[in-house]
Amino acid sequence: MKIAIGADHGGYSLKEIVVPYIQSLGHEIIDLGCDCNVSVDYPDYAMPVCDHVVKGEADRGILICGTGIGMSIAANKVAGIRCALVHDLFSAQATREHNDTNVLAMGERVIGPGVAQEIIRIWLETPFSNSERHVGRLNKVKAIEDKYAHASKTE
Ligand code: RB5
């Protein structure tokens, strides 16, 4: 798969560790920064990663900041993005099976690189269940997205 990845200064070091790991799993990386640990703003890095995913230029996105929280909040503002903030292996699998997440967020200040790499491997390898109940719930999530996209256009 093509994986777009982005981090702020709080996630830069972990990004540098996981990029070669993801490549070693056979995936292609689109690294959208940042390029050092100088302070930057996480939405500036969440947006291009999500843009690549919604436009089909990347199959999945991975976002890393200090906590993963800012990145996940920003990513979930983008129509078509389903971003999960994950710090454990169970959630990495469940969010693919149940939520069909297309972006993964993690916090460098929360977990170590070993857990982060295992989360990434599981998240990349686990397919969506496609079960009727999960598809139905995702359709309801999409309906929320559509309703509020329309509301903001008519204001
Ligand atoms: C940066 O200090 C930090 O706020 C950021 O990396 C992230 O944790 C925000 O949610």
Domain ranges of the chain: 2-128
Residues with CB under 6 A from ligand 1: 8, 10, 42, 65-67, 69-70
Which of 15, 44, 65, 87 has most ligand 1 atoms within 8 Å of its beta carbon, as the pocket-test mutant? 65
Q: Consecutive 10-residue runs of the chain (155 residues): their mean pLDDT?
A: 98 98 98 97 98 98 98 98 98 98 99 98 98 98 94 59
Q: Give the CATH architecture of domain 2-128.
A: 3-Layer(aba) Sandwich (3.40)
| Buried b or exposed e, range 10-34, using 16+ CB within 10 angstroms | bbbebbbebbeebeeeebebeebbb
pLDDT score for 96: 98
Q: What's the pLDDT score for residue 150?
A: 78
**Would you state the pLDDT for residue 153?**
57
pLDDT score, position 152: 60
- Give residue 92's pLDDT: 99
pTM: 0.96
Q: Can you tell me which residue has the tokens 């256009």?
A: 153
Residue 89 tokens, joined: 């292996």
